[in-house]
Structure 1
Amino acid sequence: MSNTFPPDSGRWRNRYLLMRHGHSQANQQGRIISTPELGLAGFGLSPTGRSQLDALLADWGWARPDLILHSDFCRTTETAQCVADHFGLSLTAEPRLRERHFGAFEGERDDRYAEVWARDARDPAHRHGGVEAVVEVATRMREVIDALERRHGGETILLVSHGDPLQILLTALEGRELSRHREREPLAPASITVL
């Protein structure tokens, strides 16, 4: 697989809002939670995350979404549900928006991310310790947008996902080397990035 994707032409049929989930119990505990076995049923939003979403929705500064797709992990589902409730919308779970799988690092302290990211910088196709390769994350995330572009037009679509996958997607859409995804400023919990 290539270390780069063709850069986005800037001619989207839809408007996209990329949202990282609010501060979660995994963030609060400083743990890596990346498997469906742990992430689907547990490790939802922390009280800080709920406060972040309350503040964000009270001062919403973006277009009203027409559609909301979200990772089916608990923390992203709860984030998306807060937004959906605010705007009276329904949700669509999209497993391709899930957290990057961190393999043998699952359940470890989150300072172990640095080890994975150092390997990413050398080889975005690596799978050391069962980690999902950056190129695979970029592919599945881009597939979501490509499918939405085929099915919809002129809509504002909110995609609720996780920090690493969103940074990888943004790097891919910019046509930058995927090995450089950590050179982007980290996306804050409950932040929104407009494509």
Structure 2
Amino acid sequence: MSNTLQPPSDHWRNRYLLMRHGHSQANQQGLIISSPERGINEFGLSAIGERQLAQAVAEWGWPVPTKVVHSDFLRTTQTAAQVASAFKLEMAVDKRLRERYFGEFDGQTDAHYPDVWALDSLNADHAHHQVEAVSSVAARMSAVMEGLEQQYAGEIILLVSHGDPLQILLTALAGKSLTTHREQTPLVPASITLYGHGV
């Protein structure tokens, strides 16, 4: 499943392929893996994720990327590598594309996600349970795109990140209240959303 959104203005200099990583071992095990200590070296793509990426590359129907920027977590690095290899591109890491940190729920069952999202809907600045605030995620994700806009023009940039950060970013780009980020259509693993100039 993919989504194409209209930019709020025509000022975008580049086009962006906002990609969620493929199905991961964390998804498979039903775990929240949101800290660098757990996510950088472990919990990469599952066998399902590997197949998703192979299929996505084989059936690529998007503009061909010219640059690949990714979170340094293993699951996003492996996802970016599959696409970069297919199009013979180098990869660049940006830590600001990392997973949202879920605080004391890190390493626990993903049944805790709805608890955090319920709090998000009340206050985008909350940090209950030591969770990273939605507003903080929006700021760092938006900063990535702003920096790329200043640095490049006419590029097609693949950004490989995680479900919550991408949904929060898309909410911010649409000019909607960050408390509504869960009202975005959920981004399935390996999905791509096209955003930016000429979309």
**Separation in 1 of the partners of 2:153 and 2:10?**
14
Report deviation, 1:10: 3.5
Query: SS state of the match for residue 121, structure 2?
Result: helix
Amino acid at match of 1:19: M
Match of 2:169 in 1: 169
Match of 2:29 in 1: 29
Q: How does 1:35-46 map to 2 (within 5 A)?
A: 35-46=35-46
Report deviation, 1:152: 0.1
Match of 1:84 in 2: 84
Q: How does 1:85-164 map to 2 (within 5 A)?
A: 85-164=85-164
TM-score (norm 1): 0.96
Amino acid at match of 1:120: D
Report deviation, 1:185: 1.2
Query: SS state of the match for residue 157, structure 2?
Result: strand
Report deviation, 1:8: 3.8
Report deviation, 1:111: 1.2
Amino acid at match of 1:154: G
Report deviation, 1:90: 0.7
**Separation in 2 of the partners of 1:84 and 1:184?**
28
Query: CA RMSD of the aligned region, Å?
Result: 0.8
**Separation in 1 of the partners of 2:153 and 2:16?**
11
Query: SS state of the match for residue 159, structure 1?
Result: strand
**Matched residues, percent identical?**
59
Amino acid at match of 2:17: L
Report deviation, 1:156: 0.3
**What does the per-residue CA deviation read over 1:134-155, in whole Å, with 9 as the maximum and x for residues that have no partner?**
0000000000000000000000
Report deviation, 1:9: 1.9
**Separation in 1 of the partners of 2:170 and 2:104?**
26
**Separation in 2 of the partners of 1:123 and 1:8?**
24
Q: How does 1:61-76 map to 2 (within 5 A)?
A: 61-76=61-76
**What does the per-residue CA deviation read over 1:77-116, in whole Å, with 9 as the maximum and x for residues that have no partner?**
0000000110111100000000000000001110100000
**Separation in 1 of the partners of 2:140 and 2:133?**
11
Structure 1 unmatched ranges of 5 or more: 1-6
Match of 1:4 in 2: none
**What does the per-residue CA deviation read over 1:109-129, in whole Å, with 9 as the maximum and x for residues that have no partner?**
101000000000000100001
**Separation in 2 of the partners of 1:128 and 1:116?**
8
**What does the per-residue CA deviation read over 1:144-184, in whole Å, with 9 as the maximum and x for residues that have no partner?**
00000000000000000000000000000000000000001
**Separation in 2 of the partners of 1:27 and 1:57?**
21
